[in-house]
Amino acid sequence: DGGITQSPKYLFRKEGQNVTLSCEQNLNHDAMYWYRQDPGQGLRLIYYSQIVNDFQKGDIAEGYSVSREKKESFPLTVTSAQKNPTAFYLCASSYGDPRDYGYTFGSGTRLTVV
């Protein structure tokens, strides 16, 4: 079955370390997105990519980096510059005009800084 796979489901990081969250999709979707979810704040857009080798900053890109070398993959790196990285991270993708179909979401990665 097609879908979005995020790994790992839980991730622990020491302060000062970079960590990379994986997002893979086999839906043949062109666009991919990373959102951060904090309690009571909904989902906030970190980065998005509409085509391979191109990506744009979202509303809260500081302290994060991404790459889009393959259509299927959109990894997110949380750098040591991110002041408060503990959160639930959701990857999504969309087909064609997302106004028509919305986004498809992965099951998320919970990152905890220890």
Partner 1 sequence: AQSVTQPDIHITVSEGASLELRCNYSYGATPYLFWYVQSPGQGLQLLLKYFSGDTLVQGIKGFEAEFKRSQSSFNLRKPSVHWSDAAEYFCAAIMEYGNKLVFGAGTILRVKS
Tokens at 86, concatenated: 């503990």
First to last CA, the chain: 36
Name the token pair of 10. 């839980």
Residue 75, amino acid: P
40 binds partner 1 (CB under 8 A): yes
Provide the token pair at 91.
């990857």
Q: Is 2 in the site for partner 1 (CB under 8 A)?
A: no
Position among 65, 95, 105, 113 found at the interface with partner 1 (CB under 8 A): 105
Q: Looking at beta carbons only, is 44 or 71 nearer to partner 1? A: 44
> CB 58 → partner 1: shortest distance, Å?
7
Q: Is residue 90 within the footprint of partner 1 (CB under 8 A)?
A: yes
